[in-house]
Structure 1
Amino acid sequence: MRSPSRPLPRLLLLRRRCLSSAPHRDRRFLPLLRFAALAKELSDHRPRPGTPPPPTRPRSPHPYDYNRLMSAHAGTRDGAGADRALHLLDEMRALLRRRPDAACFTTVAAALSSASRPGAALAVLDAMAADGVAPDAAACTVLVGVYACRLRRFDAAYEVVRWMVANGVAPDVVTYSTLISGLCSAGQVAEALGVLDLMLEEGCQPNAHTYTPIVHAYCTGGRIHEAKRLLNTMIASGFAPSTATYNVLVEALCKVGAFEEVDALLEESTAKGWTPDVITYSSYMDGLCKAGRIDKSFALVDKMLSNGLQPSEVTLNILLDGVCRSSTAWAAKRLLECSAELGWDANVVNYNTVMRKLCDEHRWLSVVKLFTDMAKKGIAPNSWTFNIVVHSLCKLGRLHKALFLLRSKEFVATVITYNTLIRHLSISGEGNEVCLLLYQMIEGGIAPNDITYSLVIDCLCREEKFLVALCCFYQSLEDDFFPSAFLSIIRGLIVGGMLGQLHTLIGCVLGQGFIIEVYIYQELIKALCKNGYCQSVEMYKVCHILERMLRLR
């Protein structure tokens, strides 16, 4: 008999807390206990100190030291590294009166491009030309990347390559691989293969980085057989695929449930000269968890550890997601609440995963309670957390609490957050609050999208505020032409009998050069017929509108 003074092991305490009130005590909860043990073990062995931030000043005003510091800032993950690198470049040009070299301009342009700021990257390269700094192959390659990968302006990318050849700046394997990557991301695989043939004709030998985007494009398009054939061609030609290349194939095979082929790839990895990494195993586990094979996923963790690989936070979260699938999100919620007792350092991603699963089970109140538990433990929420909590509060009918949360200083709002609130406020008939939210959104620097404008316009039209809705649509045209918002205002004006304003609106849209797709014409005709205009004395107005659309088109 156990002595009463002897403390119970933590896992047994967890079993009692997690399963004592469980409606069905069965094997579904065993993965929770296995996950808890693994989470504690990884937390105990994970190194605590992080990488120190880069210094703010270079050791000397020499371009070499400036470039090293720019590269360090560009490599940070806080989202502001590109701005700090750009500030250092501006400092060199304006304050120190020292001309940066090509490497400095290239580093900053590449950082801005990676931060999805192609316009700013082009401005840096323009400044490079204005300062009389001759571009080298690296600078030209960044420019090719901006045009091909960010802006999808392939004609401009080809023009840069032609300029390089004409001016003695030979395109290298990175230049061609960058162009191929951009083409593949746009789905132009045949064109990418043409670039591959071109670089071979020019005597530029491809590498794994050249082939990987093509393999990825094949896999994304469901052409796994062609991806495997390309891998075999690479090996036969002496170009060894990298681990990243195989990871793309592993992910694709997992999506179609071809786990036996994945096992074969892993078994043959040593013979084929590649080593599976954490991403390889994490992708495999993700596929297994989604297929309900949680036991095999835990076995892969053991294999990773035996191969000297430490599971990452992503790996752990994939397993947590699998645990939620195999048992219940409610039980996973209890696991998170016990995390401190287990010695497991649960993070915001873990909480988000369980909250999302609770939403799938319509346990909105449990989401709010778990968010409260998260705040008590001092775990900082991110935008995904807030989106989940706002959605849950709206489902509970607590719109004013969701609005209060939105206005808190800690809140990180996104367009998804605003769209969620606007949708539920619209359902509740609070049109004034919807307009206020749209104004706050724009003032806060968050760009509304097609869904936002469509929701707002639908709300205003339901409240018969047609002219306000029309002004809202005209405002959206300042950003872009949003088809869903256009359909919403068309339907609203037809319901409101405002065919004259509809006639003017169509002329404005077409007059600004926007293209109206065929399905919008079809929806327009359906709306007119549904509201009785095709059988009334106002049929001539309908014909006049359609005639103008066709004429201006």
Structure 2
Amino acid sequence: MLCRSSTKLLNICIASLCRAHSLEKAESVIADSIRLGILPNVVTYNTLIDAYCQLVGVDAAFCVLDRMREAGIRPDVISYNSLMAGAAKEGLLPRLEGLFDEMCQKGINPDVWSFNTLMHCFFASGKPDEATKIFWYIMNNDLSPSPATFNIMINGLCKNNYADYALTLFWYLRSCGFVPQLITYNTLINGLCKAGRVQAAKRILKELGESGNAPNAITYTTVMKCCFKYKQFRHGFEILLDMERKGYTFDGYAYCTVIAALVKEGRTKEATDYMEQMMRSGIQLDIVSYNTLINLYCREGNLEAVSKLLCDMEKRGLECDKYTHTIMINGLCRSGDIKRATEHLYSMNMEGFDSKLVAYNCVVDGLGKAGQIDHAMEMFKSMERKDTFTYSSVVHNLCKARRYSCASKLLLSCLRNGLKLLDSAQQAVINGLYSSGFPSEAKRLRSIIRTAQMLRY
């Protein structure tokens, strides 16, 4: 009895040290207990295996198995489940499959968590067919699937672009008596939103409300952001009002989602109100939050407030990312301060940021709108990467400067290279050629555009 109680106390001690990430002390306690005649059991070693998987890696954890065998202790399904979870965490599918096979060869029957881990790793490795086979094996062999089994399956299908199948499976499981919990609903709603299935996500949200499981802030925010992303602003704001009516506490993510959507809609007064509400709530801002607020102030032309935010970021040890710089460059261009925008772009180049295309586009367009078309053309020619917006912007600004011949040549070059410009840019060139007394050139250009459209489709 004394030995059994002592081993139990040993296990409690080892578990506490492992939770405190003190593996060396845990190992030292085990060594001391053995010298005192208190022998560790399978629970002791399983605790150690799980800790090594979490803190060091599956290779270090696997060595504990050899120590168990040397001590005459037979590893059990929990031992292998921990090792498999460690392999899954590191994305080592072949290693996980090897552990699963070894467990079966040693006569240790896998449980539902063994299969759950295997299924999860197949999904994470982009093998949804293999994962689906595991799922139906669980269902057809009386392995008592847990809610986690269904959540892994639904989440995996959604992440592998099978949102429709996930939705069908969800309804099938419901018809079989499965009672989904909030996490299942949230998993499905998130997957549908990422797949662009806005209507289906809203339908599941409504069903969730009718099921007796109250949606939480994560549920509402996920659907709301999806509505804003696909320009269904009215539905997004309806969800926002529903959240407010029900007294949900907003987090920084929810606030930024709303503020960004209001800014896009040009509703800066409301965006400012939400921004002030967020600041009053004491939410700690991250870089995404700062970028959202900087974008709002830039659109208002309040560069003094932008400077204060940048100072606040610096005090908190946050560094501007490429989105911060791009937002500021766009704001400076919108306010007409092209000189500072250009200087800021050059500083981005000096700091080595990648993917500066949007920032360059802002400055090129700003230079054109400010009447500095020659400077804009110089920067345009120096750009390593260009997209549809780059060319469309330059063509528009060339037309604004009444340089229709140059705009026509650039447009023709784009068409020959298979690049489609904005319809408004194409029409601006045609209208300009007509108005400047070159109707034949305008008709020829219109014919080339139509031919290019037919070849494209």
The residue aligned with 2:389 is: none
- Return the offset for 1:125: 1.6
Aligned pairs (5 A) from 1:135-174? 135-152=40-57, 154-174=58-78
Is 1:400–2:303 an aligned residue pair?
no
Tell me which of the two structures has the higher relative contact order, counting C-alpha pairs closer than 8 angstroms and 6 or more residues apart.
1
Q: Deviations over 1:315-352 (max 9, x none)?
A: 12212212323446699579869976x45334114213
- Return the offset for 1:308: 3.0
Distance 1:175 1:161 in 2: 8
Distance 2:167 2:242 in 1: 35
Aligned pairs (5 A) from 1:529-540? none
CA, structure 1 residues 455+173, in 2 after alignment: closer, same or farther (shift >3 Å)?
farther
SS of corresponding position for 2:247: coil
The residue aligned with 1:122 is: 23
Distance 2:162 2:242 in 1: 36
- Return the offset for 1:176: 0.8
CA, structure 1 residues 249+360, in 2 after alignment: closer, same or farther (shift >3 Å)?
farther
- Return the offset for 1:195: 0.9
How well do the aligned residues superpose, as a CA RMSD in angstroms?
4.2
Aligned pairs (5 A) from 1:226-237? 226-237=130-141
CA, structure 1 residues 159+371, in 2 after alignment: closer, same or farther (shift >3 Å)?
same
CA, structure 1 residues 391+246, in 2 after alignment: closer, same or farther (shift >3 Å)?
farther
Aligned pairs (5 A) from 1:84-233? 101-110=10-19, 112=20, 120-129=21-30, 131-132=32-33, 134-152=39-57, 154-233=58-137
- Return the offset for 1:103: 0.9
Distance 1:422 1:137 in 2: 56
Aligned pairs (5 A) from 1:230-249? 230-249=134-153
Distance 2:179 2:94 in 1: 30
One-letter amino acid of the counterpart of residue 129, structure 1? I
Identify which range, 419-428 or 395-404, moves more after superposition.
419-428
Distance 2:239 2:135 in 1: 43
CA, structure 1 residues 182+417, in 2 after alignment: closer, same or farther (shift >3 Å)?
farther
- Return the offset for 1:250: 1.2
Distance 2:287 2:54 in 1: 27
> Which structure: greater helix fraction?
2
CA, structure 1 residues 393+273, in 2 after alignment: closer, same or farther (shift >3 Å)?
closer
One-letter amino acid of the counterpart of residue 61, structure 2? A
Q: Deviations over 1:71-127 (max 9, x none)?
A: xxxxxxxxxxxxxxxxxxxxxxxxxxxxx63213313413x4xxxxxxx33234234
Identify which range, 317-326 or 141-150, moves more after superposition.
141-150
CA, structure 1 residues 422+299, in 2 after alignment: closer, same or farther (shift >3 Å)?
closer
Q: Of 159, 167, 171, which residue of structure 2 is paired with 1:267? A: 171
Identify which range, 216-225 or 395-404, moves more after superposition.
395-404
One-letter amino acid of the counterpart of residue 18, structure 2? A
CA, structure 1 residues 225+372, in 2 after alignment: closer, same or farther (shift >3 Å)?
same
- Return the offset for 1:400: 3.0
Identify which range, 233-242 or 191-200, moves more after superposition.
233-242
The residue aligned with 2:223 is: 319
CA, structure 1 residues 345+261, in 2 after alignment: closer, same or farther (shift >3 Å)?
closer
CA, structure 1 residues 183+233, in 2 after alignment: closer, same or farther (shift >3 Å)?
same
One-letter amino acid of the counterpart of residue 103, structure 1? I
SS of corresponding position for 1:132: helix
Distance 2:136 2:72 in 1: 35
CA, structure 1 residues 296+168, in 2 after alignment: closer, same or farther (shift >3 Å)?
same
Q: Of 283, 298, 317, which residue of structure 2 is paired with 1:380? A: 283
Aligned pairs (5 A) from 1:121-520? 121-129=22-30, 131-132=32-33, 134-152=39-57, 154-269=58-173, 274-327=178-231, 342=245, 344-348=247-251, 349-355=253-259, 357=261, 370-376=274-280, 378=281, 380-383=283-286, 386-389=289-292, 392=295, 400-406=307-313, 458=352
Distance 2:320 2:13 in 1: 39
Contact 1:147/1:157, CA 8 A, preserved across alignment = yes
Distance 1:301 1:288 in 2: 11
SS of corresponding position for 1:106: helix
- Return the offset for 1:358: 6.1
- Return the offset for 1:457: 6.4
The residue aligned with 2:333 is: none
Distance 2:179 2:83 in 1: 27
- Return the offset for 1:217: 1.8
Contact 2:224/2:237, CA 8 A, preserved across alignment = no
Runs (5+) with no aligned partner, structure 1: 1-63, 68-99, 113-119, 435-453, 460-553
Contact 2:208/2:215, CA 8 A, preserved across alignment = yes
Aligned pairs (5 A) from 1:38-53? none
Distance 1:304 1:283 in 2: 12
CA, structure 1 residues 313+299, in 2 after alignment: closer, same or farther (shift >3 Å)?
same
SS of corresponding position for 1:303: helix
- Return the offset for 1:365: 9.3
CA, structure 1 residues 337+264, in 2 after alignment: closer, same or farther (shift >3 Å)?
closer
One-letter amino acid of the counterpart of residue 286, structure 2? S
Contact 2:49/2:79, CA 8 A, preserved across alignment = yes
The residue aligned with 1:527 is: none
Q: TM-score normalized by structure 1?
A: 0.49
Distance 2:77 2:25 in 1: 24
- Return the offset for 1:394: 9.3
Distance 2:92 2:84 in 1: 9
Of structures 1 and 2, the larger Rg is shown by 2
Runs (5+) with no aligned partner, structure 2: 330-339, 354-457
Contact 1:352/1:384, CA 8 A, preserved across alignment = no
One-letter amino acid of the counterpart of residue 243, structure 1? P
Q: Deviations over 1:378-416 (max 9, x none)?
A: 3534536644446637967666312332366xx5x56x6
One-letter amino acid of the counterpart of residue 16, structure 2? T
SS of corresponding position for 2:33: coil
Count of residues paired in the alignment: 325
Contact 2:181/2:213, CA 8 A, preserved across alignment = yes
